[in-house]
């Protein structure tokens, strides 16, 4: 990625050919309850914690590039600029070359129409592994709207906040804060007893250092899953989801995912949802691109 810095508070980040800003912005707008970023017009504003500072960044689109503008600091250090660039690159999955995926998908019955319609859509990630896992736990066995309600209450009650221009911007709660919570603090937010226990337990595991992004880096998918699944509350679906969204393991996909099954059923015009073996058979063709195949199959459910 080549970057240059035309002013003290804005700079440009080049994007690959297979990137469509509007497709990805549409995903970021999917819930009005989202507190961890704000979409205004065609720009996204996100609060980051970088080098001990709270940094508010606006991301907008230019020709073949993203424009990153610092809102609450006039002269960010080179280290902060570098880390913000790295975060946005990771968040939008800009370093992944999608051309082999598109070549494969172009001749696939299930995917070919989807990649044409949603060309440039990428896995909007969650670079924070703790956030990724907790979000997966919050979403277990409930609909997306209610999951966002739980997340909104969780973030507004326990996350750090920065006020700018009359609006509040939030950071995801830190593991050491979550580790000290009790069920009595989470139950009034409509957390189930099980979700409360899992959330606190995962916070404790991160706070103790049993698990971290650094500990998983470089492991195979199977090794990373095994390490995560030692923690109570993290099952196969949650581990796969987090590894797909945080590390972009190409072969991490939530095999048991209900929405994925529904997408396959509708696209293949099946009378009932596929079995796990049938899903595995479908995904054999997608080896090495399972995560992106999942993304586009999920996307099929949003077709008008």
Please give the positions annotated as active site: 257
Task: Confirm if 131 and 155 have CB atoms less than 8 A apart.
Answer: no
Task: Confirm if 276 and 253 have CB atoms less than 8 A apart.
Answer: no
Looking at the DSSP bridge assignments, the partners of residue 11 are 68
Q: How far is CA 260 from the centre of its chain?
A: 17
The closest of 60, 63, 62 to 88, measured between CA atoms, is 60
What does the alpha-carbon distance between residue 264 and residue 301 come to, in Å, rounded to a whole number? 10
């Amino acid at each position: 990625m080549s970057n240059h810095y035309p002013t003290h508070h804005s700079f440009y980040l080049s994007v690959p050919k297979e990137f469509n800003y509007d497709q990805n912005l549409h995903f970021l707008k999917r819930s009005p309850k989202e507190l961890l970023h704000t979409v205004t017009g065609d720009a996204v504003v996100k609060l980051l914690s970088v080098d001990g500072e709270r940094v508010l960044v606006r991301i907008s689109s230019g020709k073949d590039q993203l424009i990153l503008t610092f809102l609450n600091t006039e002269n960010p250090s080179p280290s902060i600029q570098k880390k913000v660039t790295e975060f946005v690159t990771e968040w939008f999955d800009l370093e992944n070359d999608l051309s082999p995926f598109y070549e494969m998908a172009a001749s696939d019955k299930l995917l070919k129409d989807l990649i044409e319609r949603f060309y440039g859509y990428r896995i909007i990630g969650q670079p924070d592994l703790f956030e990724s896992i907790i979000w997966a736990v919050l979403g277990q066995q409930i609909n997306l709207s209610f999951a966002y309600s739980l997340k909104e209450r969780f973030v507004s009650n326990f996350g750090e906040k920065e006020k700018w221009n009359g609006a509040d911007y939030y950071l995801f709660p830190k593991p050491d804060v979550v580790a000290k919570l009790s069920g009595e603090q989470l139950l009034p937010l409509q957390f189930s007893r099980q979700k409360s226990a899992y959330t606190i337990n995962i916070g404790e595991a991160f706070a103790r250092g049993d698990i971290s992004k650094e500990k998983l880096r470089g492991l195979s998918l199977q090794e990373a899953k095994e390490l995560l699944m030692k923690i109570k509350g993290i099952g196969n679906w949650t581990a796969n989801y987090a590894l797909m969204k945080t590390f972009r393991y190409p072969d991490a996909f939530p095999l048991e995912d209900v929405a994925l099954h529904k997408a396959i059923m509708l696209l293949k015009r099946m009378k009932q949802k596929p079995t796990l073996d049938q899903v595995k058979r479908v995904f054999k063709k997608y080896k090495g691109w399972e995560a992106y195949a999942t993304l586009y199959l999920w996307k099929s459910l949003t077709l008008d």
